[in-house]
């Protein structure tokens, strides 16, 4: 009898791999493996790959290479990360922690009109058993707080996500961290004219007051626009022990930054005319932002040399959003000139801008908040996905090492 199975189980956490196995086929039979999923906006994403069974009639995605399709070669999670939208330039939207990522995985006979032989459902949960989710609307803070089970104390992390999203914060809470996620942009991003550090200091103070949080300090997790705000927080606001900066900028990008009613950093402006259009309809905007090292822009540079906490810089070599590798290198050199050694850096040469938690559908292009057209994000798909898996472990280890208590006390499981 033909069987399609997911190991170790069909229900798992979002960042956990599954093993896809087919048994009961004919010896050396060629089949098409397919996956499909609908995101939170109701948009369909699909992937497919051709496999040949071994002599015993089995296909094991952990062992066997895809011959053609959405990816080629041995890619155990290829069906998930290669999920692509039916409509071009769409980003897979997964923001709500209480709604699982549901993927239908199926096996078909060879050929476009091949009959479906079997199908299974992979439910990928964001929130683990025992993790609490509490919406926060206190003072100027609008976010969601995730707390792991157990008595604590736990290390605390402020997640500066670009738009409202609970994905990264919830997955990190599953690992034993108290995480408050706050979005950089609200539902009317074009109305924003400036950023204020006071809001994020308020979020830091809120985290430190939580009964399960360690007293020592907090970590900050950031990417893209959140990167320069995270660095400024660490430079100007006390209580921050560890900062993860992913594909960000070294200056205050696009918006001026204020603290205690005074402007502390000027903004780096955009010149959209420098965007490079491509045949896909999406443009490369890597060089549309002003050079932070130009004399007129020196007031935008974040004084990273004032940061007392630990820094983890992460840059992608194929980031087509902006020159994150160049920004990282400049900040590392500046820190060295000031005799600082409170940093480490990670470089992924073939990864793109949108480094997500593991197994998130790879997005080559989508619309951008700052442009009237879609943009290319960059990244060679296989290398990008491998970077995401590697980085997710590095982030956890970095926060465990440099925050003040042991998150292993958590017992969160699916």
Q: Which residues are catalytic?
A: 224, 319, 353
47: closest CA among 98, 92, 12, 15?
92
Tokens describing residue 88: 């071009």
CA atoms within 13 A on the CB side of 12: 15
C-alpha span between 16 and 22 (Å, rounded): 20
C-alpha span between 225 and 249 (Å, rounded): 7
C-alpha span between 88 and 297 (Å, rounded): 36
C-alpha span between 43 and 48 (Å, rounded): 17
- Alpha carbon of residue 69 to chain centroid: 25
Contacts of 313 (CB under 8 A, 6+ apart): 245, 328, 331, 332, 343, 344, 345, 346
297: closest CA among 247, 245, 252, 235?
252
257: closest CA among 304, 300, 305, 212?
300
CA atoms within 13 A on the CB side of 249: 27
Q: Which helix (H) or strand (E) holds 334?
A: helix 324-337
C-alpha span between 141 and 183 (Å, rounded): 10
Q: What φ, ψ does residue 250 adopt, rounded to 5°? A: -95, -10
Strand partners, 277: 283
Tokens describing residue 144: 């969601």
Tokens describing residue 397: 């280890």
Residue 298 CB neighbours (<10 A): 11
* C-beta of residue 61 within 8 angstroms of C-beta of residue 76: yes
Contacts of 134 (CB under 8 A, 6+ apart): 144, 145, 146, 147
Number of helices (H), then strands (E), in the chain? 6, 25
Q: Decide the pairing of beta strands 343-348 and 365-367.
A: unpaired
């Amino acid at each position: 009898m033909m069987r399609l199975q997911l190991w170790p189980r069909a229900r798992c956490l979002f960042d956990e791999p599954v093993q896809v196995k087919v048994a009961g086929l004919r010896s050396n039979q060629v089949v098409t493996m397919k996956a499909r999923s609908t995101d939170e906006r109701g948009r369909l994403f699909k992937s497919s790959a051709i496999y040949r069974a071994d002599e015993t009639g089995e296909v094991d995605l952990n062992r066997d290479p895809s011959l053609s399709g959405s990816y080629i070669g041995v890619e155990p999670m290829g069906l998930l990360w290669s999920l692509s939208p039916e409509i071009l330039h769409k980003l897979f939207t997964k923001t709500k922690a209480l709604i699982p990522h549901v993927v239908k995985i199926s096996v078909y006979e060879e050929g476009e009109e091949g009959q479906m032989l079997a199908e299974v459902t992979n439910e990928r949960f964001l929130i683990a058993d025992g993790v609490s989710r509490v919406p926060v609307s206190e003072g100027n803070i609008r976010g969601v707080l995730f707390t792991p089970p157990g008595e604590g104390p736990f290390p605390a992390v402020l997640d500066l996500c670009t738009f409202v999203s609970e994905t990264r914060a919830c997955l990190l809470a599953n690992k034993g961290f108290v995480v408050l996620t706050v979005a950089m942009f609200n539902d009317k991003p074009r109305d924003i004219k400036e950023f204020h550090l006071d809001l994020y200091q308020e979020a830091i103070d809120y985290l430190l007051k939580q009964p399960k949080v360690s007293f020592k300090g907090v970590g900050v997790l950031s990417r893209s626009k959140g990167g320069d705000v995270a660095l400024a927080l660490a430079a100007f606001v006390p209580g921050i022990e560890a900062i993860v900066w992913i594909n960000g900028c070294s200056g205050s990008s696009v918006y001026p930054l204020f603290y205690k009613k005074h402007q502390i950093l000027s903004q780096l402006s955009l010149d959209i005319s420098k965007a490079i259009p491509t045949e896909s309809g999406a443009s490369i905007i890597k060089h549309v932002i002003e050079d932070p090292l130009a004399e007129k822009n020196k007031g935008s540079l974040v004084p990273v040399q004032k940061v007392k906490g630990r820094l983890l810089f992460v840059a992608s070599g194929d980031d087509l959003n902006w020159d994150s590798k160049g920004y990282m290198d400049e900040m590392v050199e500046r820190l060295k000139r000031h005799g600082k050694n409170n940093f480490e850096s990670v470089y992924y040469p073939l990864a793109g801008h949108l480094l997500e938690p593991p197994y998130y559908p790879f997005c080559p292009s989508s619309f951008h908040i700052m442009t009237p057209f879609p943009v290319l994000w960059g990244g060679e798909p296989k290398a990008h996905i491998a970077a995401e898996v590697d980085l997710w472990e590095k982030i956890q280890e970095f926060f465990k090492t440099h925050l003040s208590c042991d998150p292993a006390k958590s017992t969160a499981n699916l």
